[in-house]
Chain A
Amino acid sequence: RALGPAEKEAAVDYLLQYGYLQKPLEGPYDFRPEDITEALRAFQEASELPVSGQLDGATRARMRQPRCGLEDPFNQKTLK
């Protein structure tokens, strides 16, 4: 099902908030598609979901689950 902008924006916010996407030090938050795909892959792998890099239903459901407010250290690049 085609996703609306709000759903995509919520997913990017989640990846940013929990350390899967790196906040650029300067300039606006416009991420390259390949960065978002890489962040999604890291999230899917850490959540033991099929690693597709796509914002599928299971990934969105996982992002809605209650959780701790601290960042996750699972994206090696952002962690570094």
Chain B
Amino acid sequence: YRLLGRWRKKHLTFRILNMPSPSTLPPHTARAALLQAFQYWSNVAPLTFREVQAGWADIRLSFHGRQSPYCSNTFDGPGRVLAHADIPELGSVHFDEDELWTEGTYRGVNLRIIAAHELGHALGLGHSRYTQALMAPVYAGYRPHFKLHRDDVAGIQALYGKKIPEIEDEEEEMELPTTPQVPREPSPMPDPCSVELDAMMLGPRGKTYAFKGSYVWTVTDSGLGPLFQVSALWEGLPGNLDAAVYSPRTQWIHFFKGDKVWRYINFKILPGFPKKLNRIEPNLDAALYWPVNQKVFLFKGSGYWQWDELARNDFSHYPKPIKQLFTGVPDQPSAAMSWQDGHVYFFKGKQYWRLNRQLRVEKGYPRDVAHNWMHCYSQTPDTAPSGGDTTPSATGTDYSPTGTTLDTTSSAIDSTLNTDHSPRDTILDMTS
């Protein structure tokens, strides 16, 4: 490896100034590729990268072509020079906008790998003489299971030292069950516009998460967040989940898959998890938290269980028919959640149902998930009346995940939630 310079700090900010043409790479896929490029380096060196949406950033990524008012190094059209970057502490990283940027295919040029290479320069590495190293000058093509070469790791650690695993994590890792971890091959990256969701969750801080395969992304009113592998956020969590539910009452997030349940607070798994389910049937379909009675509802087939996280539950009368409580919803939902607007939503296939406070499906449902939740507009809009406006709407009239139009409701929910419960670590009687 060759060292060209280094940053005098290890916590850097970055900003993505523009994106490649969406015709070759959907924006969220391009964004995920750029974000994963940073992860290669932060995984092996004590570096952190924080994205800023405006103003100054240490590292600035942008795409330009043959002409650029900001760069004296113009590019040369498809092929040949793909990208370039400045050495520390300048921070500019430029990509040739005329390249066919791709992800997850041998076609074109893999944006993630080239971005990781240019970030190597921005962090101070020169070109490596190992032709298979990330920092080799010539693009070695798309590699499905790409990882850093030992020369890349040696170079970045020569500049910034080794990554020190947090001791605490290590201890907890020791406590995790020793059941052999099933090797998890990440599933192919899903297209949010055409998937049947595994799970939906209104998580901490009012973030809405969508889960499919090995990936999770946030859904906001301005679009979709980047796709992350679930294990990148929730360490130790497998993909292809059955259900996910966050309880504001206990701050616990529970994930269900097969006969196991994982418990996290934010992104940290709690000791002793995953645990085995044995008083609830395995392979659930969906789960939701209902703020009105502060209970978690678990769904499978045509039945449901109502679960009080902090009390001893009598499941002898469960499962009960879903339709008994949730009028008009389909059996075997693929996902369910209570949302910021105070409504309950059920998802199945490519459709979703919205329920009112009486847990009755409202008129005009089901509707199209891709069009109303995932900001996919190329699809034909819902046939049901949507109030005539063209704004994408999960709620039929006003879609504002930020909840600004919903103050009264959410505060009503807040007031119901402002209980003085302090989550106690009781025995999870479902698993006892």
A contact residues vs B (CB 8 Å cutoff): 18, 46-48, 62, 64-74
Report the minimum CB–CB distance from A68 to chain B (whole Å). 5
Q: How many chain B residues touch the partner (CB < 8 A)?
A: 23
Whether A73 contacts B127 in the complex (CB less than 8 A), given A62-B138, A66-B138, A68-B118, comes out as yes
Please judge, given known A-B contacts A67-B80, A68-B84, A69-B81, whether A47 and B138 are in contact too, CB under 8 Å. Answer: yes
Residues facing A in B109-163 (CB within 8 A) are 109, 114, 117-118, 121, 126-127, 129, 131, 137-139
User: Quick check: B82 and A67 within 8 Å, CB to CB?
Assistant: yes
Q: Which residue of B lies closest to A65 (CB)?
A: B138
Q: How far is the CB of A49 from chain B (nearest CB, A)?
A: 10
Where the two chains meet, the residues of B that have a C-beta atom closer than 8 Å to any C-beta of A are 2, 73, 75, 79-85, 99, 109, 114, 117-118, 121, 126-127, 129, 131, 137-139
Residue in chain A with minimal CB distance to B130: A48
Q: A46-B129, A47-B131, A48-B131 are in contact. Are A70 and B84 (CB under 8 A)?
A: yes
Between-chain CB contacts (< 8 Å), 9 pairs? A46-B129, A46-B137, A47-B131, A69-B75, A69-B83, A69-B84, A70-B85, A70-B126, A72-B127
Most buried by A among B73, B118, B138: B138
Which of A46, A64, A68 is close to B83, meaning CB atoms less than 8 Å apart? A68
In the complex, chain B residues whose CB is within 8 Å of the CB of A62: 138
- Taking CB atoms, residues of chain B closer than 8 Å to A74 are 127, 129
Is the Cβ of B84 less than 8 Å from the Cβ of A66? no
B residues in contact with A46, CB < 8 Å = 129, 137
Q: Given A66-B109, A68-B81, A69-B84, output 9 extra A-B contacts at Cβ < 8 Å.
A: A46-B129, A64-B80, A65-B139, A67-B82, A67-B138, A68-B84, A69-B73, A69-B75, A73-B127
For the complex formed, measure the closest distance between the CB of A78 and the CB atoms of chain B, giving whole angstroms. 13
Least distance between B408 CB and chain A CB atoms (Å): 56
- B85 CB → nearest A CB, Å: 7
Contact of A68 among B2, B99, B127 (CB under 8 A): B127
Residues of B within 8 A of A72 (CB): 127, 137
Given the known A-B contacts A18-B137, A47-B138, A62-B138, are A73 and B80 also in contact in the complex, defined by CB atoms under 8 Å?
Answer: no
Residue of A nearest to B135 (CB): A68
Inter-chain CA distance A64–B81, complex, in Å, is: 10
Give the most central of B81, B82, B99: most A CB within 10 Å: B81
**B131:A70 contact, CB within 8 angstroms:** no
A68 near B117: Cβ-Cβ < 8 Å? yes
Complexed CA–CA distance, A69 and B127 (Å): 11
Are the CB atoms of A67 and B137 closer together than 8 Å? yes
Contacting B137 at CB < 8 Å: which of A48, A64, A68? A68
Residue among A18, A62, A70, A74 having the largest count of chain B Cβ atoms under 10 Å: A70
Interchain CB contact under 8 A, B137 and A66: no
| Cβ-closest chain A residue relative to B126 | A73
Residue numbers in A under 8 Å from B83 (CB-CB): 68-69
Shortest beta-carbon distance from A45 to chain B in Å: 9
A56 to B114, CA, bound (A): 28
- Docked Cα-Cα span, A30 to B86, in Å, equals 29
Whether the Cβ atoms of B127 and A66 lie closer than 8 Å is no
Distance in angstroms between the alpha carbons of A47 and B81 in the assembled complex: 17
- Find out whether the CB atom of B137 lies under 8 angstroms from the CB atom of A70: yes
Who on chain B is nearest to A68 by CB? B137
Given contacts A66-B82, A66-B109, contact A73 B2 (CB under 8 A): yes
Output the least CB separation between B368 and chain A (Å). 40
CA distance A8 to B372 in the complex (A): 58
CB distance from A63 to the nearest CB of B (A): 9
